[in-house]
Amino acid sequence: MDVDRDQLTRYQRLMGDTVRDELPSVFVHGLAFPVAMSVMVRADFPLPLLGMVHLRNHVEHRRVIDPAESLSITAWAEGLDAHYAGLTVDVVAEVSAGDEVVWRGVSTYLAKGHQLDGVVRPDRPERPDWQPPAKTGLWRLGTDTGRQYARVLGDWNPIHLTAASAKMLGLKRHIVHGMYAAGRALTVAVPRVVSDGGGYDWDIDFVAPVFLPGTVQFSAATASPEASTGDTVEFAGWKRGADRPHFVGSVTPR
């Protein structure tokens, strides 16, 4: 497949990123998403797609990806496992330029209420105490944030579009795409990690949804104020006064 330069520019502007000839990692995830979805809607996919919860992502962005490169995408499911609330599965996507895998992402999803025969669910772990870090940014998200993301990357899940469409699926209001939050976070975090155009790994855990419209307190910082470019950056987003974050994650140079 070839990259649509106009789509790339629209994504970069949506995320507040610099418009440049380099593919951001969540943009690559968006390119791979239709292929991953084709796996999840197959008759032999082990869990029902409707109601599935996106728990986390681990991504290897192995090197700079030029928009001029022709890319190929493969995806598969693996790692069906017991969870205290049901079953989880990993959907893996790999993006290649020629014979080289340049990007690899693992998205973990939860299907609540399901169980493996003969496997006892683990106990629910205690929720750790969480103290918000020093705020470095503030996101004010409008009611149309989900529709803006969908227009760029094509994820038209009704839970992200309008309050009415989300209520049909059991939510009180629509919520922001988890990958929108990841993209906004990486726009800030990646430049603090990578100075020479190299690759990086990143993780994000989705803890609590961001309802729209909404305001997110945001932090991206190295573990030490004296740390320099090349050190791991940890990031988080939360609602003021909440006892748990919306999401937490990190970016590490390869």
Q: What is the pLDDT along the chain (254 residues), one digit of tens a residue?
A: 899 999 999 999 999 999 999 999 999 999 999 999 999 999 999 999 988 999 999 999 999 999 999 999 999 999 999 999 999 999 999 999 999 999 999 999 999 999 988 888 999 988 888 899 999 999 999 999 999 999 999 999 999 999 999 999 899 999 999 999 999 999 999 988 886 668 999 999 999 999 999 999 999 998 665 555 568 999 999 999 998 999 999 999 98
Residue 222: what pLDDT? 86
Whether the upstream peptide bond of residue 213 has omega within 30° of 0, thus cis, is yes
Tokens standing for residue 147: 């529709």
Residue 139: what pLDDT? 97
Q: How far apart are the C-alpha atoms of 80 and 98, rounded to whole Å?
A: 30
Query: Which DSSP state fits 126?
Result: P
CATH superfamily of 5-253: Hotdog Thioesterase (3.10.129.10)
Residue 234: what pLDDT? 95
Residue 198: what pLDDT? 84
* Contact in structure between 29 and 23 (CB atoms under 8 Å): no
Tokens standing for residue 227: 């740390």
According to DSSP, the β-strands at 53-61 and 200-206 are: antiparallel
Number of C-beta neighbours around residue 233 at 10 A: 27
Q: How far is CA 207 from the centre of its chain?
A: 12
Any idea how long the chain is? 254
**Position 108, amino acid:** T
